[in-house]
Structure formats: structure tokens, C-alpha cells
Amino acid sequence: MNTHANHPPLVVYGAGGHGTVVADAAELSGLTLLGFLDDREQATLAPADQLLSQNDPNLAGACFIPAIGDNDARAAVMQKIEQLGGKVVNVVHPTAAVSPRATLGHGVYVGPQAVINAHATVGDGCIINSSAIVEHHCTLGDFAHLAPGAALGGGVTIGDRTLIGLGAKVLPRLSVGSHCVVGSGAVVTRNFDDGLLLMGVPAVAQRA
Ligand SMILES: CC(C)(COP(=O)(O)OP(=O)(O)OC[C@H]1O[C@@H](n2cnc3c(N)ncnc32)[C@H](O)[C@@H]1OP(=O)(O)O)[C@@H](O)C(=O)NCCC(=O)NCCS
């Protein structure tokens, strides 16, 4: 298990389902969890989990990860943290396999059993969710999200804020633009531009 003896305590920004998953991964990787922040007054937390106030003095010495599934909301939260001078870190589950030859931005979450292979580049604020696969030489833009079980073949390019849905696949060397949604179970067999909803096998654009 990784240990982070010199790491400041972590604040997970987002107290919903994804936030609790990120908190689990953080603790299992040896980080100390300070608690959760959330803009909603009624955040869905287990009773034992601590929901911090935005004014908590402990936040000054903490580091942060944005943990909201929606790509635009996650980007907004990360911008807010950084504008306030907060340090944003990555959380990598100890069972994930991340190549030492891969490059990760910051604010990245990598879930259990996920794989990021050699020479892949993962942008800031990305989610590589449970059992998702980023093959060698892939490039993901900022705030992209690979849902659980999604897989990218070697050399694939995914644009900023694109969601690759549950179990969807992108064949090697193809590209999907930014701000796209690839529906659950789809198989992308050709290149697609920005801003599209893609569904089916083979995936076709349903609407912008
Ligand atoms: C593709 C998707 C974005 C469509 O969402 P939507 O626009 O709200 O679509 P709806 O649920 O209204 O369904 C519209 C139609 O598409 C069909 N459909 C929905 N998702 C589909 C999918 N992934 N593949 C094929 N058909 C799908 C529905 O059955 C429905 O068909 P009908 O009109 O014949 O009844 C969504 O279903 C999806 O797959 N999202 C990804 C979810 C995900 O992986 N999230 C990450 C979790 S960590």
C-alpha cells in the first residue's frame, strides 16, 4: 500500500456517491481524510463522515480533490478550490495499475482495478473510474470521465469534458471530441467531432 506520511490531510469536495468512493480510495491508499465539503446543505453522507464548513480553519492546511461526477460541475469546483489557493491532488486506488510511463494531471481520480498504460496522458480533473482501461499512448483532455468498465484502445484521443459511459469502448487510434457523451455500451468505430451524443454498436451520433 502507498503511504503518504508527509501529505496534508485530504478534503473531498463532493459529498455524494462519487465523493464517498473517492474517500474510500484515498484512505485505502494511505491518505488521511479530513472530511467532505459540499455546496448543498443536505449532502448525502453516512453519519460517521464529517461534513466540513467552508469556513473551517483546518481547511488552510489541507489538500483537496474535486469529487463530483458531472464534468462541468467538477471543473467549476476545481477552479474554485484553486482560486482560493487550495492544493489539488490526485487520488489513486491501491489496486489501480498506473504505468510509471503515464502522465497524470492533477485532481485526477483513478478507481479500483483501473488501468492506465504506458505513455498515456490523462488531463486535469479526469475520472478513470472502477475497472476502466486507458491503453498505451491514449490522450484524455481535462475533466473527461471514463465510467466503470469503459475501455480505450491504444492511441485513442478523448477531448475535454467528454463522458465515456459504462462499458463503452473506443477502438484503437480513434478520437472523440470534447463535450461528448458516449452512451453506455457503445462501441466507437470512427472519429467524431465535439459536442455529440454517441450511442450504439457501432456508435452513431444521435444529436449535438
Ligand atoms: C446515452 C444516454 C446519455 C442517453 O440518455 P438520455 O438522453 O437521457 O436517454 P433516455 O434514457 O431518455 O433514452 C432515450 C432512448 O435511448 C435508449 N438508450 C438510452 N441509453 C442507451 C444506450 N446507452 N445505448 C442504446 N440505447 C440507449 C433508451 O432505451 C431510449 O429508447 P426509446 O426511445 O426507444 O425508448 C444514457 O442512457 C447513457 O448511456 N449515459 C451514460 C451513463 C453513464 O455511464 N454514466 C456514468 C456513471 S459512473
pLDDT digits (tens, 9 = 90+) for 83-98: 989 999 999 999 999 9
Per-residue buried b or exposed e for 146-182, using 16+ beta carbons within 10 Å of the residue's own CB? bbbbbbbbbbbbbbbbbbbbbbbbbbeebbbbbbbbb
Inside any domain, residue 208: no
Q: What is the pLDDT of residue 113?
A: 98
DSSP per-residue string spanning 11-40? EEE--SHHHHHHHHHHHHTTPPEEEEE-SS
Q: pLDDT tens digits for 152-169?
A: 999 999 999 999 999 999
The structural domain count of the chain equals: 2
Q: Are 145 and 119 within one domain?
A: yes
Query: What is the block-wise mean pLDDT of the chain (208 residues), using blocks of 10 residues?
Result: 68 96 98 94 77 88 97 97 94 98 98 98 98 99 98 98 98 98 98 98 89
Q: Ligand 1 centre and the CA of 180: distance in Å?
A: 14
CA distance 42 to 126: 26
**Does any ligand 1 atom lie closer than 6 A to the CB of residue 199?**
yes
Q: Are 84 and 172 within one domain?
A: no
Q: What is the pLDDT of residue 46?
A: 73
Contact 15, 36 (CB under 8 A): yes
**Does any ligand 1 atom lie closer than 6 A to the CB of residue 167?**
no
Pairing of strands 204-207, 197-199: antiparallel
Q: What is the pLDDT of residue 44?
A: 76
Q: What is the pLDDT of residue 2?
A: 43
CA distance 73 to 92: 21
Range of the domain at 62: 10-89
Contact 201, 184 (CB under 8 A): no
Q: Are 112 and 82 within one domain?
A: no
Give the sign of the dihedral formed by CA 130, CA 132, CA 135, CA 137: negative
Alpha helices in the chain (DSSP H): 17-28, 71-83
Q: What is the pLDDT of residue 1?
A: 40
Annotation says 136 is catalytic? yes
CA distance 27 to 24: 5
Q: Are 81 and 164 within one domain?
A: no
**Domain edge (last residue) among 30, 59, 89:** 89
Q: Are 49 and 102 within one domain?
A: no
Q: Ligand 1 centre and the CA of 183: distance in Å?
A: 6
Q: What is the pLDDT of residue 54?
A: 86
Q: Are 69 and 107 within one domain?
A: no
Task: Please report the atom of ligand 1 found closest to the CA of residue 18.
Answer: 48
Q: Are 197 and 95 within one domain?
A: yes
Q: What is the pLDDT of residue 208?
A: 63
Instruction: Provide the Cα torsion 114, 180, 64, 18; round to 10°.
Output: -60
Out of 18, 136, 137, 145, which one is annotated catalytic? 136
Q: Which amino acid is at 45?
A: L
Q: What is the pLDDT of residue 3?
A: 46
Q: What is the pLDDT of residue 168?
A: 99
